Amino acid sequence: MLVAFTGWTFLGFGNLHLHTSIAILSLAILESLAAYYGFRVAAQPTIDIRLQSVWRWIGFALSAIALSGWVSFVGRLFNISFLSELVDWIYFVYYPCIMVALFKFPFSSSRGTERRIFWLDIAIIITATFMAFWAVNLYLFIDLFRSQPSALLVLVFPLGDAFLFAGVTALLQRNVEQVGHQSLIFLTIALGMNALGEGFYDFASIHVNEIAISYTYILWLLGAFFFLIAAVVQINQEPPGRHLYPSRRRSILRMILPYLGVLAGWGTLIIMTFTSVQTDLRQQGVLLGALVLVVLVLWRQYSLLAENTHLYDEMQRLAMTDSLTGLYNRHYFNEMLKRELLRAERYRNPLALLLGDVDDFKFFNDTLGHLKGDLVLKIVSQTMNMQLRKVDLLSRFGGDEFAVIMPDTDQAGAETAASRIQAAVGKQSYADKQLGLSIGVAVFRPGMTPEQLVEQADNELYRKKSSKYARRPDDSA
């Protein structure tokens, strides 16, 4: 539909009224599909309850756009004039709904500084966008605003879209939990298309260019298409690991945003200066030199901040990683276990914990030396990691012990995973000695604390290990 309409538009569509009617109908159909899939996401029981709420509000927002499209189409089809006034009021519902959805997105940090930077980022994007809108067309309305203050409503749609785009862009930089990050990328593109469409529509309306207005529908159709893609991606997204290193790419994006805002503002000023007949060569030279100076200073500051960001990310990674095996360390394990227990308690999901201990590790350490013992730990950790799912968290618990947090896993699933890991480790050998691993399994029950779950797994591990060595008179562990 989108490809066919775009091709028809660029190849020449003949009847303008027919083209506009088909554009509105296509937009109503796409927005209705996007709203339907948005509500489907909200009804998915496997999706985080916070994301269900997000997509419910997105569904309401898209329903408002779809309804406005259907009302507009019916009004054009049957030539009902009063319906055109109703369309804007229905469309207006989209803005508060989508804003509620954006600010319901789950993201991790809630520090005061983080919240302040978040709102400053939004202000930067809105200011830069307003400068561009003002330079292109809004200044032409100034006399109309003075004589008819109610005409300020013309700013609601383009500035509303700019505010939404600013919000989703700033949110995209945050540590949004991976359960919603991929769909948020497509939501950003969708809102960007809508914002461009509103700005282009105002520009074309001011210059009374109906042909240019017809091209605006392509941008709006692209926005509806990416809303639909965002919902489909969210439905089909597999649950990713909840234990990810800090995203360097997202840190760079967060750092570069204010500089892009400054450059956008200066770029708008330079374009206005060089296209105005009232500025002389002296003003143009000074402004161009000022722009070069700003670019050089921003480049310098960016280079410094990039290095600081790299050092900070590396420090965070080291703080949660075991230096020998590269697995997560005990401190990070403790934090994640608390989070997963709260999640399991809240959503009534199963949760299992595996606690493993390398068999005969004393032999490798005492007979072959500690360096050889370290190699054994690396072999065991790598083998275990290959047997686990992406959502499972493997960490070095201490010494020759390893712990695995397994979300959405019951007793039978945990026992199966433990057997699979033991079989894989049993196929490994070092210094002509077969490796082995004893594993204790514990399953979360409502009301249990992290300490109780670990104690249950530890007791089960001790029982398994004692039973194994009881059958071996040459116990060397």
Give which of 306, 314, 308, 317 is closest to 244, Cα–Cα: 317
Whether the Cβ atoms of residue 426 and residue 387 lie closer than 8 Å to each other? no
DSSP character for 160?
H
Token pair recorded at residue 8 = 């028809």
Give which of 446, 421, 415 is closest to 435, Cα–Cα: 421
CA geometry: angle 473, 476, 477, nearest 5 deg: 120
Token pair recorded at residue 129 = 């966008």
Whether the Cβ atoms of residue 469 and residue 477 lie closer than 8 Å to each other? yes
Task: Give one DSSP letter per residue of 323-357, joined into a string.
Answer: TTT-SB-HHHHHHHHHHHHHHHHHHT--EEEEEEE
Counting beta carbons within 10 angstroms of the beta carbon of residue 385, is it exposed (0 to 12), middle (13 to 18) or buried (19 or more)?
A: middle
Region of residue 348 (left: phi > 0; alpha: psi -120 to 50; beta: else): left
Active site residue 400: yes
Give the span between the Cα atoms of 400 and 397, in whole angstroms.
8
Name, in order, each residue with C-beta under 8 angstroms of 39's C-beta and a sequence gap of 6 or more: 55, 56, 59
Active-site residue identified among 400, 410, 474, 475? 400
Number of H helices, E strands in the chain: 17, 6
Q: Report the catalytic residues.
A: 400
